[in-house]
Amino acid sequence: MSIAQERRLVTAIPGPGSLERLERKKALVADGVGTTLPVFVAEAGGGVLVDVDGNHLIDLGSGIAVTTVGNAAPGVVRRVQEQVAAFTHTCFMITPYDGYVDVCAALAELTPGVHAKKSALFNSGAEAVENAVKIARVATGRDAVAVFDHAYHGRTNLTMAMTAKNMPYKNGFGPFASEVYRAPMSYPLRDGLSGEEAAARAIDVLDKQVGAANLACVVIEPIQGEGGFVVPAPGFLPALAAWSQEHGIVFIADEIQSGFCRTGDWFACDHEGVVPDLVTTAKGIAGGLPLAGVTGRAELMDAVHVGGLGGTYGGNPIACAAALGAIEEMRTHDLVSRAREIEALMETRLGALRAEHDVIADVRGRGAMMAIELCRPGTTEPDPARIAAVAAYCHRHGVVTLTCGTWGNVFRFLPPLSIGDALLTEGFDVVAEAFAATR
């Protein structure tokens, strides 16, 4: 690793070089494209981002769970360099190439279940979700789509309809796609229900308000991402999957944020042995290059007529090379186990923090996908102001942290699995300081 794995601040955050570039950004980039931490990055690797002023920041966000194998991971760089020198694009639908099929083979092997599987590749998570719905509709001959409270599935028209939160994702962007219905999610901190009880509540809503026979698919994040890292109570996902199967509804797991070693297993569904009919993947799949997939039961995937799935760039050869490099890194470095080690470290640190600060109402998550939810002490009333103050402190002190949640009151931790224990520990030292300083 050529980048020193340490936090080192040589200017204020943001520094003069970043401030100058922020002016330029302000003039040239649409205001609608926001910024979480206003430093311009020059290079990154391991668990560190280096900005244009030479500051070394600790990365606890992985560019939103994307650089799971680390930034510019050696296996990704090598394969991308080879591919970009060989050819950059043919369009897989015009003249195919091996990389695309190799990624589909890896997806068939790694996603939950041992049934015959096929895949189709796309550019972004939202595109994968849209295509999963298209496949489910053709396969079932039905229209209705079930989604959940706090869900996030993307920013295209159909996926905005599927996403729960208005600001900033939907406000003013309607009208939205029809035939999307929302059911209550299992949210143990807020509903106190067992998984079975929460599933019965959701199923009752769908059955009475939509009708099982009208549903093409149930789409769910096995651990919710943007919605607040909500981990459903045990039994919720298996009960929903069983009900879907019983009624011929395609059960779609959106593993775009939770997939590819992130939760301490290849996929979050694996923790409860849930086998979805279709799985959507993106983010961590290709170490930072844009790639997404829909993988599922061969007979469902093949329900669509020839030419019905695709796109100009979907499964671009360079993105596929990056995915093969990322998957190789995950396997050779056993990143499933590394995510579990990171979970143990984060759980200890976050548990200690919770014991000290009664504003922390919940510690939850799996693997290297953990979060704390902040509420006014003794209540479940969200405290987004405190979290903004804590995050601002972390950013000023060189730790990249992300928030999420319907109420913006969840602090989420998504370190790259290439981060070392010392750096991770230092990152959480700063988080602890931030809580103490904003008391």
> Based on CB atoms, which residue is closest to ligand PLP, 159 or 418?
159
List Cβ neighbours of 324 (8 Å cut-off, separation of 6 or more).
79, 99, 102, 103, 106
> Based on CB atoms, which residue is closest to ligand PLP, 15 or 225?
225
CB of 303 to ligand PLP, least distance (A): 23
User: What's the number of CA atoms in the CB half-sphere (13 Å) around residue 271?
Assistant: 24
For residue 421, the tally of other CB atoms under 10 A from its CB is 11
> Based on CB atoms, which residue is closest to ligand PLP, 75 or 154?
154
CB of 18 to ligand PLP, least distance (A): 24
> Based on CB atoms, which residue is closest to ligand PLP, 97 or 169?
169
> Based on CB atoms, which residue is closest to ligand PLP, 113 or 293?
293
Q: Whose CB is nearest to ligand PLP? A: 125
CB of 7 to ligand PLP, least distance (A): 27
For ligand PLP, the binding residues (CB under 6 A) are: 124-126, 129, 152-154, 221, 225, 254, 256-257, 282-283
CB of 13 to ligand PLP, least distance (A): 26
CB of 434 to ligand PLP, least distance (A): 25
CB of 284 to ligand PLP, least distance (A): 10
> Based on CB atoms, which residue is closest to ligand PLP, 71 or 124?
124
